[in-house]
Amino acid sequence: MGEVPAFCVDNLQNGFSNGFNLKSEGCETSTNVGDKTFVIGGLNDGSTSSIGVRIYEKSTGKWVIPTVLGTKPKPCKGHSAVLLSEDQILIITRGSTPDDCIWFLEVNTKYVKEQKKVLGTEVVAWSKGVRGDAEKPVVISGPSGVGKGTLINMLMKEFPSMCGFSVSHTTRAPRDKEKNGVHYHFTERSVMEKDIKYGKFLEFASVHGNLYGTSIEAVEAVADSGKRCILDIDVQGARSVRASSLDAIFIFICPPSMKELEERLRARGTETEEQILKRLRNAEAEIEQGKSSGIFDHILYNDNLEECYKNLKGLLGLDGIAPTNYKPSPRGIDLPLDHSVLKIDNKILINCETRESGNGSKNLIALDVSLLKGGAPGRTRGLNVYAIDSFSDGFDGIHKLS
């Protein structure tokens, strides 16, 4: 239970308004969802690392401090809160960068409900809004020694500005040439287990006797750099990602034969005899599942490396693309400090009172939230942003910005 300033309790008990609250610096918004009021924000004195969230339960008159999951927005100079549905609240932060100003606070989504059960506490989860539809992440699985790492390295080398590797966590020891933070985050089992418990992982699995997992942060770091995220994970992990909110393409890499797989593993020379035998035993089950589980959208045979790489590029729409011609499309708009917010059906209209609009004309920004995808613990994608040019008597024109 949390302590709250008395003025807030008074406001809430008097039926404080729902959503559309643009507050000045240091203030809070309150949004009613069913029996609860979500109070978001707080004093912006630089003492907290994110925007605070508290819940007022009207039936009991009690305050609850929820467990807050997901990557959280940085403290900002105030924000607007709009109730989108009974599941989530849209937050527009003020004075943030264009790509960091739209967030979703999930209060009752499937993920939040699951986490409430796991943690036994009240839970909310942040998800950052991402404009448009970024290229889908790519999950690559296959038995040890099949060539996943080799193929992924080739992609990274040819398309460094388009593809980013999701650096997993593992409890296995680093190999000779592996670097912490580049190939894996090499982690103590106790630390990793604690982080798993606190919802920091999108998926995790025990593979060949070690723990491996993809942190939400690893995937989001790639998304933040504007690149397509490539995940090298085992079949169990792929199954978990399939069931998660991450909308990805799933590719399974098969060896031409078990004999060839064994030769590659031995030739790589990175494992002990005992580890090689364990990996070969597991390979049979992995190949069986890879082919029959229905998890994978595509199966590629890695017999001839160049041919397999060409096929992989084909699946990702990269065949024939000259890497040097690629430039991420510039996108984004700067939300001015002063704005007000209105929700009409699936559109959020932001009225920007810019200094230049002193002549009676105004600038409107419209967010179309009808095609949202994904969500916590990852990003919320499919957000469309439009500018509606200076209008006084009517709308002059709409320009899609993303």
Ligand X SMILES: Nc1ncnc2c1ncn2[C@@H]1O[C@H](COP(=O)(O)OP(=O)(O)O)[C@@H](O)[C@H]1O
Is residue 91 helix, strand or coil? strand
- Comparing CB distances to ligand GDP, the nearer of 20 and 186 is 186
- Comparing CB distances to ligand X, the nearer of 57 and 158 is 158
- Comparing CB distances to ligand X, the nearer of 273 and 393 is 273
CA–CA distance, 376 with 357 (Å, rounded to integer): 37
To the nearest whole angstrom, how small is the minimum distance from the Cβ of residue 386 to ligand GDP?
A: 38
- Comparing CB distances to ligand X, the nearer of 74 and 266 is 266
Residues 265-294 that bind ligand X (CB under 6 A): 267-268
To the nearest whole angstrom, how small is the minimum distance from the Cβ of residue 295 to ligand X?
A: 17
Total residue length of the chain: 402
Check binding of 182 to ligand X (CB under 6 A): no
Q: Count helices and strands (H / E) in the chain.
A: 9, 24
To the nearest whole angstrom, how small is the minimum distance from the Cβ of residue 219 to ligand X?
A: 19
Residue 5: is the preceding peptide bond cis (ω within 30°)?
no
Question: Residue 357 carries which DSSP code?
Answer: G
268 is catalytic: yes
C-beta of residue 104 within 8 angstroms of C-beta of residue 88: yes
C-beta of residue 381 within 8 angstroms of C-beta of residue 366: no
Check binding of 233 to ligand GDP (CB under 6 A): yes
Check binding of 172 to ligand X (CB under 6 A): no
C-beta of residue 61 within 8 angstroms of C-beta of residue 68: no
C-beta of residue 167 within 8 angstroms of C-beta of residue 184: yes
Check binding of 375 to ligand GDP (CB under 6 A): no
- Comparing CB distances to ligand GDP, the nearer of 177 and 327 is 177
With CB under 6 A as the contact rule, which of the stretches 23-31, 108-116, 218-226, 264-272 interacts with ligand X? Answer: 264-272
Set 172, 242, 264, 268: catalytic member: 268
To the nearest whole angstrom, how small is the minimum distance from the Cβ of residue 156 to ligand X?
A: 12
Residues 137-176 that bind ligand GDP (CB under 6 A): 141, 144-145, 149, 168, 172
In the numeric block, which tokens belong to residue 136? 């889908």
Print the binding letters for residues 171-190 with ligand GDP: x by CB under 6 A, - otherwise.
Answer: -x------------------
175 is catalytic: yes
To the nearest whole angstrom, how small is the minimum distance from the Cβ of residue 141 to ligand GDP?
A: 6
Query: How many residues form the binding site for ligand GDP (CB under 6 A)?
Result: 18
Check binding of 73 to ligand X (CB under 6 A): no
CA–CA distance, 378 with 292 (Å, rounded to integer): 28
Which residue pairs, CB below 8 angstroms and at least 24 apart, start in 337-343?
Answer: 337/77, 337/94, 337/95, 339/22, 339/80, 339/92, 339/94, 339/365, 340/20, 340/22, 340/80, 341/20, 341/22, 341/80, 341/82, 341/92, 342/20, 343/19, 343/20, 343/82, 343/83, 343/84
Question: Which of 120, 126, 123 minimizes the C-alpha distance to 66?
Answer: 123
To the nearest whole angstrom, how small is the minimum distance from the Cβ of residue 238 to ligand X?
A: 14
CB-side exposure of 249: number of CA atoms within 13 Å? 17
**Binding footprint of ligand GDP on the chain (CB under 6 A):** 141, 144-145, 149, 168, 172, 203, 205, 207-208, 212-214, 232-234, 236-237
Which residues does the annotation mark as catalytic? 175, 268, 279
**Binding footprint of ligand X on the chain (CB under 6 A):** 142, 144-150, 264, 267-268, 302, 305
